[in-house]
Amino acid sequence: MRLDHDFTVPVPADEAWRVLLDVPRVAPCMPGATLTDSDGDRFAGTVKVKLGPITLSYRGTGHFVDRDESTRRVVIEAHGRESRGSGTAAATVTAVLEPVGDTTRVRVSTDLHVTGRPAQFGRGMIADVSGKLVDQFAACLAQELTGGGAEAVGARAPTQAAVGAPAQAGMDAQAPGAAAGSPPPGAGQPVSPAAPGAAAEVGVAPEPVATAPGPAPTQPTATTGRAAEPIDLLEVTGLRALLREHAPTVALLTAVAVVAWVLGRRSARR
């Protein structure tokens, strides 16, 4: 499955490039991701996606396959395994930065392979879910790269609309329909930080902050502050991408990538 994203951020390419390589900063953009280890080239972590009653959790690792400053191209491979069950997820993410005046055009293409139960029994769910995850990842990345204001609202993964990221995910390269063809609505437009409207939408969910769990005290090591605020993803997107926190016993995770991996092995919890 290939998913393509294309957006522009209002910062120079050099600056965007620095952010893109900062794993601890970028990893939490993956909804539900917890970075557990990172040495610059390699990283490990977990990803848990909750969608209504459905929970997909993976744990795995990733590494930079390519980091070419001259072409400003980054290729990351990540691979993970379902914590319950033997399904796998693997992603190759290619991001290319292209200076456009003082702004930077970012093209992210994700080649995603999912096996096991989610692929077999999902009524096409996996495409929907993956598309959404990548949308949010790209939207958040746009936010990160935009920099300004990111700290203030950083915990919030902006909605697609707020970011202006196209987030149009075609099912595959041959029949993407929207993705390849017409320029996405936000393309070429500066990205604004999460619009207040996004937060306002949250109002429909009463007191969501109170009802969703905050980070558990047993938070594993390298989790960034951002990832520790999953609630905002829930608020803004409605996707209950909650972090797994019972993880000390668990191996951990991935991040930049697209699908991820967790642990949360049930036996460990009992």
Which residues are CB-neighbours of 235 under 8 A, at least 6 positions away? Answer: 156, 199, 202, 205, 208, 209
Nearer to other proteins, 73 or 84 (CB): 84
Q: Is 75 in the site for other proteins (CB under 8 A)?
A: no
Q: Is 87 in the site for other proteins (CB under 8 A)?
A: yes
Nearer to other proteins, 25 or 81 (CB): 81
Gap between the Cα atoms of 234 and 135, Å rounded:
14
How many Cβ atoms are within 10 Å of 107's Cβ, its own excluded?
15
Judge residue 174's burial from the number of C-beta atoms within 10 Å of its C-beta, 0-12 exposed, 13-18 middle, 19 or more buried: exposed
Considering only residues 124-153, where is the footprint of other proteins by CB under 8 A?
Answer: 124-125, 127-129, 132
Stretch that binds other proteins, among 10-18, 19-27, 85-93, 189-197 (CB under 8 A): 85-93
Nearer to other proteins, 70 or 210 (CB): 210
Q: Is 200 in the site for other proteins (CB under 8 A)?
A: no
**Total residues in contact with other proteins, by rule CB under 8 A:** 53
Q: Is 90 in the site for other proteins (CB under 8 A)?
A: yes
Give, in order, the Cα–Cα distances in Å from 50 to each of 54, 153, 221: 6, 23, 22
Stretch that binds other proteins, among 135-143, 148-156, 210-218, 221-229 (CB under 8 A): 210-218
Residue from 130, 223, 237, 254 binding other proteins (CB under 8 A) = 237
In angstroms and rounded to an integer, the radius of gyration of the C-alpha atoms of the chain is 17
Residue from 65, 69, 85, 151 binding other proteins (CB under 8 A) = 85
Bridge partner residues of 33 (DSSP):
47
CB of residue 16 to other proteins, shortest distance in Å: 28
Nearer to other proteins, 88 or 143 (CB): 88
Nearer to other proteins, 144 or 245 (CB): 245
Q: Is 84 in the site for other proteins (CB under 8 A)?
A: yes
CB of residue 19 to other proteins, shortest distance in Å: 28
Residue from 16, 91, 114, 233 binding other proteins (CB under 8 A) = 114
Considering only residues 49-68, where is the footprint of other proteins by CB under 8 A?
Answer: 50-56
Which residues are CB-neighbours of 70 under 8 A, at least 6 positions away? Answer: none
Q: Is 11 in the site for other proteins (CB under 8 A)?
A: no
Q: Is 230 in the site for other proteins (CB under 8 A)?
A: no
Give, in order, the Cα–Cα distances in Å from 119 to each of 10, 147, 245: 38, 36, 26
Gap between the Cα atoms of 39 and 197, Å rounded:
38
| Interacting residues toward other proteins by CB under 8 A | 1, 50-56, 81, 84-88, 90, 113-125, 127-129, 132, 171-172, 175, 177, 204-208, 210-213, 237-240, 242, 265-267
